[in-house]
Amino acid sequence: MTKNPSISADSGIQTPVLETFRYDNAIVRNFAIAAVFWGVAGMLVGLIAALQLVLPEFALWDGISFLSFGRIRPLHTNAVIFAFVGNGIFMGVYYSLPRLLKAPMYSKALSAVHFWGWQAIIVAALITLPLGITTGKEYAELEWPIDLAITLVWVVFGLNMVLTMLNRRERHLYVAIWFYIATWVTVAVLHIVNSLEIPVSLTESYSIFAGVQDALVQWWYGHNAVAFFLTTPYLGLMYYFIPKAANRPVYSYRLSIIHFWALIFIYIWAGPHHLLYTALPDWAQSLGTVFSVMLIFPSWGGMLNGLLTLRGAWDRVRNDVTLKFMVVAVTAYGMATFEGPMLSIKTVNAISHFTDWTIAHVHVGALGWNGFLTFGILYWLLPRLFRTELASVKLANAHFWLGTLGIIVYALPLYWAGFTQSLMWKDFDEAGDLVYPNFLETVLQLVPMYWMRAVGGLLYLAGVFLMIYNLIATARRGSFMAEEEAQAPAMAPEGTSGHDTYWHRRLEGRPMQMLVWSLVVILIGGIIEMVPTFMVKSNIPTIASVKPYTPLELEGRDLYIRDGCYTCHSQMVRPFRSETERYGEYSKVGEFVYDHPFQWGSKRTGPDLHRVGGKYNDAWHFNHMYDPRITSPNSLMPSYPWLLENELNTASTADKIRAMQALGVPYEEGYADQAVADLEKQAGEIVRQLAEQGVKDPITGEAPAADREIIAMIAYLQRLGTDIKAEKTALK
């Protein structure tokens, strides 16, 4: 049934001529399959990573480089965010957008390029991340050729959307579409700015930003990846699919307008809350906190708008499995967006940051909000694409309860773990000494919680398998409708609708202006936070004794990035007594000026490493990397035998020095040519010391060779945080 909304019932002057067109359901089905497929893959990798934390010596992954935690964890996050949720977004957009605009997607060819391009990017990630090909920036780990591909595919997606909008038969852009537009434009800006890097080879690059600036850009990106990839597009889906599933309009359309503008205006400022108590300038931290706290208003406004859509229909939630999933999803959104502002308050953040509390928080969002909304949509959508009822409502209900239980069993132990570890870190005895000076003690305390988390993940994944069985059974029973015929009159020319032409109505009728205004609104926050931090570069307190890395240390740093050490170790000693007692002098902004990219980390499953240089001797590091349990009994850290086996690749060392010079790192003119010679000299010195300390290579049984990767890693670790120890801090 179609009607002409642009001609009011009482005008009665003209009978609209109906045009016939066809919606493409095949692309929707394909994105749905991809979302489920990659969802399973991403969750499975998450489960493996969870098990690795409690069974580091399990034969399936122990000592295998491409399955080590540091390389698997980025694969998990990227797969869940960009493959599972990404395909989920596209599934929902390709279904709802044409129907809201009463026009098919502009080009099936563009849709196909978008679909296959996105899947190819995911496959590329699946190959490169386990190989350790990474930029070392969280959720932006993919290397520059893949970054370019992402940009291209994103442009194709945008083009397809905008051209569809220009061919539409419905003048007004429903609020869901505004969320899609804001998502597209903001993700484009975030991706491009955070991926600015200088290539060294096809698989290596350095971020053009260093230290504190890189941190600010990264978390402006990282936070807004949550905001504009995991939140705004899914809010668009919420505003479309909850009214559809409940068969009633959204509770308040006015509130949805406020929700939209307030959310995109405020969200973009909140990134610095990931950097509280770090070396980021205080004013930027405060801005991040203030805006994060404000975020609760639009977030909860939107949540209530979603929930209140069901007013008067709550009895249906008992029987309708789609609505059950959606209600829990929106509730999880409410919980996560209450927790977010709370975690952004500095005193709370002092406890939560670097602990499992953050992991629990993001999983309430990912499993609850993104996961459950996706499942709810799938249970609603698949029967409609295949024109039959859901095969088994019972199984879907079982999925609902398994999933809900899974979220609880996952999240609660990790909240417990977060509090436990943080309190142990900060525990002093009466003499003023740390009660748990050995970091490992605070980790081993968490092992039971880590086991429970793995069980929670398993329950959740088991539910997903029930859903897959159920959806396949539904598809088999029904007949797929690849194209759906619809009719609507052409869009009435402007001014004939009899309504006012108030500016926002005109804005709603013009997708391009909407796009530009969304861009302006999101740029304000980013510019105000970033420009001063960049402009006052010369005023960032530089420390005279901080020197660029030697070629060997630089290579070691690249291995540190390759093996994802930053996924468990921070390099940021916060100015708390509990941290300076444990690690040493707190981290200064001037110490990171040559760090392309920064490696401050966001989670401490292992201790902070910023002051690890000189703390242990070379032999300790050698043995510890070979098998951490030699030096630290019961450690949860993976072993890195390949560092002892692999020869250090120095083919691009000179190019790396040149790239660093191009980024302003003050190596002497022409230094690149002598870099390898210097590298070998330093490696020889380390090997000589290892021999003095009586170290034998456990694989060959002989003295360690100078040309192995482990030597570079030792050089880097021993350099970390030592520059300011050498001399008294001197402010320029």
Binding site for another protein (CB under 8 A): 1-3, 5, 96, 99-100, 102, 170, 172, 174-176, 239-240, 243-244, 247-250, 253-254, 257-258, 261-262, 265, 281-283, 383-384, 387-389, 391-392, 473, 476-478, 481, 484, 486, 499-500, 502-505, 508, 524, 528, 532, 536, 539, 541
Both structure tokens of 7:
């001609």
Please list the residues that pair with 24 across neighbouring strands.
483
The minimum distance between CB 5 and another protein, in angstroms, equals: 6
The minimum distance between CB 390 and another protein, in angstroms, equals: 9
The minimum distance between CB 118 and another protein, in angstroms, equals: 25
Helix 175-194 with 86-101: angle, nearest 10 deg: 140
Return the number of the residue (240 or 333) whose C-beta is nearest another protein: 240
Q: How far apart are CA 520 and CA 159, in angstroms?
A: 20
Return the number of the residue (72 or 93) whose C-beta is nearest another protein: 93
The minimum distance between CB 421 and another protein, in angstroms, equals: 31
Both structure tokens of 507:
């804005």
The minimum distance between CB 247 and another protein, in angstroms, equals: 7
Please list the residues that pair with 425 across neighbouring strands.
none
Residue closest to 256 by CA, chosen among 243, 244, 245, 268: 243
Q: What are phi and psi of 58, to 5 degrees?
A: -65, 135
Q: How far apart are CA 619 and CA 342, in angstroms?
A: 44
Return the number of the residue (288 or 638) whose C-beta is nearest another protein: 288
- Count the Cβ atoms, other than its own, within 10 Å of residue 422: 21
Q: How far apart are CA 521 and CA 186, in angstroms?
A: 10
Q: How far apart are CA 304 and CA 293, in angstroms?
A: 18
The minimum distance between CB 452 and another protein, in angstroms, equals: 33
Q: How far apart are CA 201 and CA 385, in angstroms?
A: 46
Return the number of the residue (78 or 164) whose C-beta is nearest another protein: 164
Burial class (CB in 10 A: 0-12, 13-18, 19+), 78: buried
Is residue 505 classed as helix, strand or coil in its secondary structure? helix
The minimum distance between CB 667 and another protein, in angstroms, equals: 28
Tell whether omega for the bond before 597 is within 30 degrees of 0, i.e. cis: yes
Return the number of the residue (136 or 211) whose C-beta is nearest another protein: 211
| Alpha-carbon Rg for the chain in angstroms | 27
User: Tokens 């003209």 map to which residue?
Assistant: 14
Return the number of the residue (135 or 474) whose C-beta is nearest another protein: 474
β-pairing verdict for 18-24 and 204-207? unpaired
The minimum distance between CB 194 and another protein, in angstroms, equals: 24
The minimum distance between CB 294 and another protein, in angstroms, equals: 10
Return the number of the residue (151 or 729) whose C-beta is nearest another protein: 729
- Count the Cβ atoms, other than its own, within 10 Å of residue 685: 15
Cα distances from 149 to residues 71, 118, 131, 142, 144, in angstroms, run 21, 9, 19, 10, 9
Do residues 437 and 578 lie in contact, with contact meaning Cβ atoms separated by under 8 Å?
Answer: no
Return the number of the residue (174 or 626) whose C-beta is nearest another protein: 174
Return the number of the residue (233 or 365) whose C-beta is nearest another protein: 233
β-pairing verdict for 483-489 and 204-207? unpaired
Residue closest to 598 by CA, chosen among 280, 346, 342: 280
Burial class (CB in 10 A: 0-12, 13-18, 19+), 142: buried
Return the number of the residue (95 or 642) whose C-beta is nearest another protein: 95
The minimum distance between CB 538 and another protein, in angstroms, equals: 10
The minimum distance between CB 253 and another protein, in angstroms, equals: 4
Return the number of the residue (588 or 596) whose C-beta is nearest another protein: 588
The minimum distance between CB 398 and another protein, in angstroms, equals: 14
User: Tokens 């981290």 map to which residue?
Assistant: 587
Return the number of the residue (98 or 456) whose C-beta is nearest another protein: 98
